[in-house]
Structure 1
């Protein structure tokens, strides 16, 4: 059974879910946009877990398209799943890497036993991915990969343009 997909216009750090997906940078040590907001609101516990990951399995950082989980710190969630989206390129098709962010995040969520997962629109901010195409890849991939125990995948979209792009893909 595939998960129910819902759309919310709002702040991902305000979501009450089992797992919040962070559009992280490869360092795992915080940054701008969604990544910075999650680290600020989640508090130092998230950064401490990320530093521990860097000291163990991810010494060189997290590769694009991969995902790993940490505590959610002070967020109203159990876990944060960090994934590194690709930077958009007109010369090279990186769609598989973007799809991998969603697939890998859902795989980690399933391993954690998460029933609800909140995603941002990965790579559509500073990484320059066109919103409509990012929405198409996100919705298609989640429809294919969101299986039990995941019951709900929520896309939390920051503005009306993003919300509309995802709503069109959701049909």
Structure 2
């Protein structure tokens, strides 16, 4: 039985609150507009920041549409779930925020509540390819998200470690 995490519930509530209910509606410009976030393409690496009472996300213009969507998910986490300037943080705390933003990105770009409604083929490689088509993500990204989804589905969200009996 699959039980959503708090993050999965948060993302589902975010999307439904924005009236986004299926993969065809996933668009960084629409989402940013509905959240009152300014989004721009830039020549620098993607980043998010707050300036003069406004949130901004700059996405690297050299990325393809899949990479832009993935970067948007990562940067959006910093706006929605973090505070402070990373330049003023200790390296371990900055690393924690980056790990959280990456985790958020996988769930945001391929939301569990949408993924559950897609009929996936039994072959994992074929299933990952289907996910790329529905969610506009790179194949490697889809494979990682599918692995996370299946691992949680079959373990109830807990990592199962092999037990070695010694006699």
Query: What's the TM-score once normalised by structure 2's chain length?
Result: 0.29
Higher RCO (CA 8 Å, separation ≥ 6 residues): 1
Which structure shows the bigger proportion of residues in helix conformation? 2
Tell me which structure has the larger Cα radius of gyration. Answer: 2
Query: What's the TM-score once normalised by structure 1's chain length?
Result: 0.28
